[in-house]
Each structure stands twice: as C-alpha cells, then as structure tokens.
C-alpha cells in the first residue's frame, strides 16, 4: 500500500523525524484558512496524489501569501495530474499546505527491502532532490548502502559510519545517525517495504527536515496494523471518487460497486432498470455506468476500459438504445477500441436497438469482437449472469 505524502509524514513524526509544519486541504477555501493558521512567510502547495515527479507536472507550487495559496490550490484540486503510460492520471482531491523550508543542501535517505537478499537496507546520499535515480545510475558511488540486521525486533547497524560518509561536519553526522536509526525503527514498526526521504533538507541552523516522504507498507501485514488499514480505506475512498470525476471528463457517469458484472448503458433510467434485471437474475453489478449522449467513441472506450481494468469483472453487459444524438455504431466503435487497448477478453453480452443498431453489429464483426447478441433486456441480464458464473468457475 502506497501512502500519500501527508500520511507518511504524520507517521514518521511519531519517530521524531522532523517535517515542515503543514495541513491538508480539500478545497481552495480550506487551503486559504490553513495558510492563515500556519502563519508562515512562504508556503509550498503540494498535490496529494501517488505520482512521481510532481514538480515537473505542476503538482508542487510555491506561494508567499494565503491568497496565493488559495489560487494555487484552485489550480490543482479537481484537476488530473499525470496522464501517460508511465504516469497514469490521478485527480487531485487534496493538497498539502506547508511551510517552505530554505536549505543549504538537499540529501537523500531511504530504508527499503532488498528482496533478493531478504533484508532491509539503508540507502543515503549527500546529494538528493529530483533526478536522483538518473544521477545514481551515472555515478555508482552517489548512493551509499548499509545492511540492517534485526535482533529481537531491534535494528542493529553502524549508523554513525554511514552518517560520517555523508556529512561534512560532526554535528551534522550526529544528527544524521539519529535520523537513520529513527528511519530504520519506523520501517520495522510499520512493516514498510520503503520509506524514502527525498529531499532531506539541511537548514542554515543545522536542522534535518524531511521535505518529501514516500512510504509503502506491506499489504499482508495490515491485519496487525489497524491504524494503517484505516489509511488504506481512506485512500481507496479517495481513489474511487477520483475515478468517478475522471470518468465525467469522458462524458461518463460512473459509480463502482463490489460486484463482478460490468454494465454499460446509455441513459440513467435504463441503467437503473438494467441493474435491477441483473440483480433479479442473481447477479452482482460491478458498477453503474450511464454513457451521455454527447460521448464519442473514444469516451465510450474509456468507460469500457474502466471495466476491463477491474480484475473483479467476470462479464460485461452492454444495453444501449440508439437515439437521435447517440448512435449504436458509435458505441460499437468504442467497444472495439476498448478491447484492442486492454487486450483482455471477458464474456460480452450486447442488447442493442434503435439508430444504426444493425450497422453497429457489422462494426463489431469487422473489429473481431466476440459477443452474445440478445434482443431482450431480461434475457440479456440472465445471459450475462450465467456467463459470469461460468467464468468464475
């Protein structure tokens, strides 16, 4: 489970790791009020999404006044961040408003699980910040490594040695050794497979402050970490809301459920009727999906993609009626695009009527889409439920 930055910082704070003072905000008004309460001279506004290189994607901004914080929050909240194969898009639901820290050096520190060796290791560098992976690949000595040993659930390692390899002065080395020990203890306490501080700031007065933190905890250990399990529930809720907002950008009204039958319908009333028919047939819908009349074939492909990307979906029912603005062949084109993109085959039942329905069948055949063509809604619901059970078996 990947934690958001503010969650990771909150957890590290329990182990005396210093972080900037800050507050999470879910709206521009909350961001403004947070800045007023913090009372800093300079602020950082940071999108809380699991995306790398947020700075390069305009997910981190700086401000000098609460009004500027409000403007920066307005530019981020509700907007997608990322959006290619390497960086999938995430809708920003929250921002972290915190004090902007001036530093004389940016360093790097992380505890991670070396899966090949089966042990935790501490990694550190005198030079952190963006692009650390690329720089480390070019300079093999940039990041130093220290193996960690557990004795009676306590971490044992020569933290002072590693700190001395990085720090230029004894006071900084002493502070780093303590921070390394705290970081290692936190990793064990939270069953973390990664805790990364980058950058780790060294300030003018010699303080060490974690400016950004990434934390990944072992899903298999959540049963003994109830406080972390609650964070997972919170993040799942946020992610679900973000998916719904993103679907709206593609002219799709979408709400995920916990079933295994995907449903695609054009019309909210028709969607509710289809939902009821599937339930009456003994099935469990995986979603509510209403394709708006303004949706293009690419929009429809995005909606189908949400279902194909859900491993719980065992079969899909497309129940559409072509009207004046939404033709059946447009929906058929979207189906073909989605199945070519995802390369995942699940049983597909289609019930089509109305504008260009017969031509839509030709489009599906030309696209090589295998499906069950049913003319009656109730029969279509019964068929998709039967296919779902057969797939699960």
Token readout for 304 is 């189908």
Catalytic residue among 196, 246, 333, 383: 196
The verdict on whether omega for the bond into residue 199 sits within 30 degrees of 0, i.e. cis, is: yes
State the DSSP code for 290. E
Element (H, E) at 303: helix 297-308
CA separation for the pair 17, 77 (Å, rounded): 28
8 A C-beta contact, residue 252 and residue 292: yes
**Angle between helix 297-308 and helix 226-249 axes, rounded to 10 deg:** 160
Catalytic residue among 6, 108, 190, 254: 108
CA separation for the pair 9, 14 (Å, rounded): 9
- Phi-psi category of residue 39: left, alpha or beta, with phi > 0 → left and psi -120 to 50 → alpha: left
Q: Specify whether 196 is catalytic.
A: yes
User: Where do we find the tokens 């799709």?
Assistant: 252
Per DSSP, what are the bridge partners of residue 261?
285, 315
Indicate the pairing of strand 348-354 with strand 315-322.
parallel
Q: Specify whether 99 is catalytic.
A: no
Q: Is the dihedral of CA 32, 33, 35, 39 positive or negative?
A: positive
Catalytic residues: 108, 196
């Amino acid at each position: 489970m990947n934690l958001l930055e503010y969650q990771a910082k909150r957890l590290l704070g329990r182990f005396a790791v210093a972080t900037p003072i800050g507050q999470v905000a879910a709206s521009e008004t909350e961001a403004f009020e947070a800045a007023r309460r913090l009372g800093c001279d300079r602020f950082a506004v940071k999108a809380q999404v699991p995306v790398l290189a947020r700075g390069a994607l305009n997910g981190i901004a700086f401000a000098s006044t609460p009004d500027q914080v409000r403007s920066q929050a307005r530019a981020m909240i509700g907007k997608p961040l990322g959006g290619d194969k390497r960086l999938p898009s995430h809708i920003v639901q929250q921002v972290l408003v915190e004090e902007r820290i001036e530093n004389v050096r940016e360093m790097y520190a992380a505890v991670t699980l070396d899966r090949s060796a089966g042990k935790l290791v501490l990694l550190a560098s005198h030079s952190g910040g963006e692009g650390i992976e690329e720089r480390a690949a070019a300079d093999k000595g940039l990041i130093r490594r220290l193996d960690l040993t557990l004795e009676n659930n306590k971490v044992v390692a020569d933290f002072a040695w590693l700190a001395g390899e990085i720090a230029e002065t004894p006071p900084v080395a002493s502070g780093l050794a303590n921070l390394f020990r705290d970081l290692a203890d936190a990793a064990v306490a939270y069953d973390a497979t990664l805790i990364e501080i980058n950058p780790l700031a060294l300030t003018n007065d010699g303080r060490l402050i974690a400016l950004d933190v990434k934390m990944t905890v072992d899903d298999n250990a959540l049963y003994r970490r109830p406080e972390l399990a609650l964070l997972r529930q919170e993040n799942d809720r946020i992610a679900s809301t973000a998916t719904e907002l993103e679907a709206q950008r593609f002219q799709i009204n979408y709400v995920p459920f916990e079933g295994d039958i995907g449903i695609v319908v054009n019309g909210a009333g028709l969607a509710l009727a289809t939902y009821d028919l599937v339930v009456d047939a003994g099935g469990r819908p995986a979603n509510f999906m209403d394709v708006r009349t303004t949706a293009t074939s690419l929009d429809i492909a995005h909606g189908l993609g949400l279902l194909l990307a859900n491993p719980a979906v065992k079969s899909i029912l497309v129940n559409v009626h072509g009207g004046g603005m939404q033709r059946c062949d447009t929906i058929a084109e979207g189906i073909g695009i989605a199945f070519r993109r995802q390369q995942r085959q699940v049983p597909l039942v289609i019930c089509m009527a109305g504008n260009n329905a017969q031509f839509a069948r030709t489009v599906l055949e030309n696209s090589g889409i295998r499906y069950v063509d049913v003319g009656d809604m109730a029969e279509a619901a019964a068929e998709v439920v039967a296919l779902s059970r057969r797939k699960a078996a």
